[in-house]
């Protein structure tokens, strides 16, 4: 059988099963309306969840970019101090970060698309729920068992199909967010462990430590030279005081 038809039947059979469970079709209407409202809540929550994940990724992109800039600065600093090995190390790490950043940017785009899709799904469902509520009241008011069944079935099938569609969209968004959360968690751990960056600023990565060691080394050398100079030529150089730093 044709795929389009098979899929339509799958959706239809869901609706029919729900209808068959009900003794009075009017009950079906009220029950379905409740389910529709619940689903609307779910899809809105879905939109909020995806938005939260998207923002988390944005934050990570910012953090990693800052870390990349810092490494670039350190590379420059190391090179200026004649430590090409250290500069190379800093730039290698930076290129690793670039890879992470571009992966995150792809994920960000995916989540944004998912968010838009869910938002549209929620608008479509809202329109159908409103239409269903009106239809349900009319049907209940003019209810006669003989003719109502088919009309109820039609309205019910229409909205039930939309509900299945929205349900699938929510499922898919949840899957995508869950995958993303796992990755984001791993990146947060990397950041927290100091492998990428220590946000507290207390611990130091090894490149920073090496640069500081070098800079304090040259500071010490400078001080030593200054002291030697002062000791060696204290008397004649007195007039130069205040010029050196």
Q: Site for other proteins (CB under 8 A): how many residues?
A: 41
Distance CA 162, CA 183 (A): 32
Residue 132, interface with other proteins (CB under 8 A)? yes
Helix (H) or strand (E) holding 98: helix 84-141
Query: What is residue 233's three-state secondary structure?
Result: coil
8-state DSSP, 111 = H
Among residues 66, 95, 102, 171, the one that binds other proteins under rule CB under 8 A:
171
Please identify, among the stretches 7-15, 65-73, 87-95, 177-185, the one whose residues bind other proteins according to the rule CB under 8 A.
Answer: 7-15
Residue 155, interface with other proteins (CB under 8 A)? yes
Instruction: Report in angstroms the alpha-carbon separations of 80 from 7, 124, 144, 204.
Output: 67, 61, 90, 21
The two three-digit tokens of residue 120, written as one number = 């549209």
Residue 161, interface with other proteins (CB under 8 A)? yes
Contact 47, 118 (CB under 8 A): yes
The two three-digit tokens of residue 78, written as one number = 């190391």
Residue 59, interface with other proteins (CB under 8 A)? no
Among residues 56, 93, 108, 128, the one that binds other proteins under rule CB under 8 A:
128
Smallest distance, other proteins to C-beta of residue 11, A: 6
Interface with other proteins by CB under 8 A: which residues? 2-8, 10-15, 18, 35, 39, 117, 121, 123-124, 127-128, 130-132, 135, 154-155, 157-161, 163-165, 167-171
């Amino acid at each position: 059988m044709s795929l389009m038809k098979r899929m339509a039947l799958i959706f239809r059979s869901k609706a029919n099963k729900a209808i068959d469970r009900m003794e009075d079709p009017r009950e079906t209407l009220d029950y379905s309306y409740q389910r529709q409202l619940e689903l609307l809540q779910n899809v809105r929550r879905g939109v909020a969840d995806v938005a939260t994940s998207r923002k988390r990724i944005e934050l990570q992109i910012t953090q990693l970019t800052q870390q990349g800039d810092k490494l670039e600065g350190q590379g420059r600093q190391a090179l200026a101090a004649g430590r090409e090995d250290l500069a190379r190390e800093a730039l290698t790490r930076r290129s690793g970060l670039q890879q992470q950043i571009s992966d995150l940017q792809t994920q960000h785009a995916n989540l944004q698309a998912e968010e838009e899709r869910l938002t549209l799904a929620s608008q479509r469902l809202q329109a159908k729920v409103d239409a269903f509520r009106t239809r349900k009241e009319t049907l209940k008011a003019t209810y006669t068992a003989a003719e109502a069944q088919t009309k109820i079935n039609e309205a019910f099938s229409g909205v039930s199909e939309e509900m299945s569609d929205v349900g699938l969209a929510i499922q898919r968004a949840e899957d995508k967010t869950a995958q993303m959360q796992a990755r984001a968690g791993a990146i947060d751990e990397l950041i927290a462990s100091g492998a990428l960056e220590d946000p507290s600023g207390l611990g130091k990565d090894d490149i920073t430590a090496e640069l500081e060691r070098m800079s304090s080394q040259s500071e010490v050398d400078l001080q030593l030279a200054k002291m030697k100079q002062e000791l060696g030529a204290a008397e004649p150089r007195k007039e130069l005081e205040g010029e050196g730093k």
